[in-house]
A = this chain, B = another copy of it.
Amino acid sequence: MSDKFEKLYKELVERVREATLIGSIESLLGWDERTYMPRAGAENRANQSAYLSGLMHQKITDPRIGELLSELERSPYMKEEYSNEAVNIRELRHDYDKLVKLPQRLVEEITKTTTMSQGVWAQARGKSDYATFLPWLEKVIDLDIEKAECLGYEKEAYDALLDTYEPGATVETVSKTFSGLRDELVPLVEAIANSSVKPDLSIVNGDYPVDRQATFGREAAAAIGYNFESGRLDITAHPFTTGIGPGDTRITTKYDPKFINQALFGTLHEAGHGIYDQGLDPEQYGTPRGESVSLGIHESQSRMWENMVGRCKPFWRHFFPRAQKIFPEALGQVAFDDFYLSVNDVRPSLIRIEADEVTYNLHIMLRFELEQVLIRKDLKAKDLPEAWNSKFKDFFGITPPDDARGCMQDVHWSAGYFGYFPTYALGNLYAAMFFAKALEEMPDLEEQFAAGQFGQLKKWLNEKIHSHGRRYRAEKLAEVVTGQSLNHKPLMTYLNKKFGELYKL
């Protein structure tokens, strides 16, 4: 490489790393805000965070970055499409263009409006009061449409929003995949509903003292490979994972003393996110090459560890005796098969975040369809409850009794996160694709799980996915790893096999 381009590239990396470092400090502020900050510190924290995010924005949208990118895009670095340098130049261009296309006024208006509308939503949801929330939702939708117009798109505005969370994804590709998935999911849900096999939910709703849940959750998270030397597990109202930088990736959970699933599978889920972040290449930290690919790929990791590993039979072959020892009151007299069935209860339900791994995807598809028509203005926000309920009846055979348990249940829309939901189902699809490939390449994987060994799967994920950062976009990554393009077959094969056996279909 010529000295000139080397120098320009070095400058680019230094500038981007500075912005990343500022962002990492903001992540710590956010973690502290949700874990340990004294209540009265909120205003000061808002000032600190606003300062850092302003500073970061200023650094990352510095016109000099645009100049450097323009120069480097004509450099020999670009000859090798997936080299570290070419990847960074390509992905930084993607991010930079998005950021500079949004006028400061719009960014501020979105921040202000969504902060307010989330507050209104939280209040209104409590009373299932859609009328109060409506004017805010209308504003948020208009702002998201304006944002999409600024960002630009080829086919439709929603694509621009989707691309924010899942770079490269479009309504067209996602719809095709979802539609194939739905065609096969609905009969499975029906078959399970009609099965004579019925889980005994009193098993998972027993006596699970919180301190012992914490012990068990930590053991399980450590066993699957979440590294506590470079991580922590704390308690928050809404569990999350945050990467504060190399050597520092933190997860949180939430305990219910009468329900083992919430904290346990929640911890495995966040540990899955954490393992991804812990597996990123620290040498590449601060550049796209050292970052995660997309929300969908991130979710594929959490979902795989939570469901494909955490709810599989071999996992419990290993962990059930330990669980019985830790929770003798709840599990001492319970048979293995009954426990295993009870953590795999499947049934249509109202609330997305409580849904099982079969029906969960239907909750997402419903939202994905409604988001599209809202952003296209084919559905007016005032008609959303009716559209939700009718579609819900169509998908699940039940009608929400109120909007709190209907179209107002999630925070996302009040926060302006149109385009975010599909990444959850994409995560399930990618997880199944990756997991099928892992099983193909390591046929004894489930025997290893039964022996409490999860290291080989983790290593495989580290090598195939985590260590590549944003080298490939999500769909390309799936192709490189599995040889297949994004499709619903692996997920349906997995679900049909697992639940076919469990529910004797």
Interface residue ranges, A against B (CB under 8 Å): 18, 21-22, 24-25, 28-29, 32, 36-45, 47-48, 51-52, 227-232, 234, 244-248, 250
Please measure, in the bound complex, the distance between the C-alpha atom of A344 and the C-alpha atom of B429, giving whole angstroms. 69
Minimum C-beta distance from A449 to chain B (A):
26
Closest to A25 in B: B48
Please measure, in the bound complex, the distance between the C-alpha atom of A213 and the C-alpha atom of B35, giving whole angstroms. 23
Pairwise interchain contact A247-B52, C-beta atoms closer than 8 A: no
Pairwise interchain contact A25-B44, C-beta atoms closer than 8 A: no
> If A32-B32, A38-B231, A38-B232 touch, does A247 touch B43 (CB 8 Å cutoff)?
yes
Residues of B within 8 A of A45 (CB): 245, 248
Please measure, in the bound complex, the distance between the C-alpha atom of A301 and the C-alpha atom of B36, giving whole angstroms. 26
Residues of B within 8 A of A228 (CB): 38
> If A228-B38, A229-B38 touch, does A247 touch B44 (CB 8 Å cutoff)?
yes
Pairwise interchain contact B32-A229, C-beta atoms closer than 8 A: no
Pairwise interchain contact A25-B29, C-beta atoms closer than 8 A: yes
Pairwise interchain contact B248-A40, C-beta atoms closer than 8 A: yes
Minimum C-beta distance from A412 to chain B (A):
29
Residues of B within 8 A of A41 (CB): 230, 244-248
Pairwise interchain contact A36-B38, C-beta atoms closer than 8 A: no
Please measure, in the bound complex, the distance between the C-alpha atom of A43 and the C-alpha atom of B230, giving whole angstroms. 11
Residues of B within 8 A of A22 (CB): 51
Minimum C-beta distance from A36 to chain B (A):
6
Closest to A49 in B: B25
Pairwise interchain contact A32-B28, C-beta atoms closer than 8 A: yes
Minimum C-beta distance from A280 to chain B (A):
12
Residues of B within 8 A of A24 (CB): 44, 48
Residues of B within 8 A of A44 (CB): 24, 244-248
Please measure, in the bound complex, the distance between the C-alpha atom of A500 and the C-alpha atom of B229, giving whole angstroms. 53
Pairwise interchain contact B25-A250, C-beta atoms closer than 8 A: no
Minimum C-beta distance from A384 to chain B (A):
38
Please measure, in the bound complex, the distance between the C-alpha atom of A247 and the C-alpha atom of B248, giving whole angstroms. 27
Closest to A247 in B: B40
Please measure, in the bound complex, the distance between the C-alpha atom of A39 and the C-alpha atom of B42, giving whole angstroms. 27
Please measure, in the bound complex, the distance between the C-alpha atom of A21 and the C-alpha atom of B29, giving whole angstroms. 13
Interchain Cβ contacts under 8 Å between A and B, 18 examples: A25-B25, A25-B29, A25-B48, A28-B32, A28-B48, A38-B230, A38-B248, A39-B229, A40-B246, A40-B247, A40-B248, A41-B244, A41-B245, A43-B247, A44-B244, A44-B245, A44-B248, A47-B245
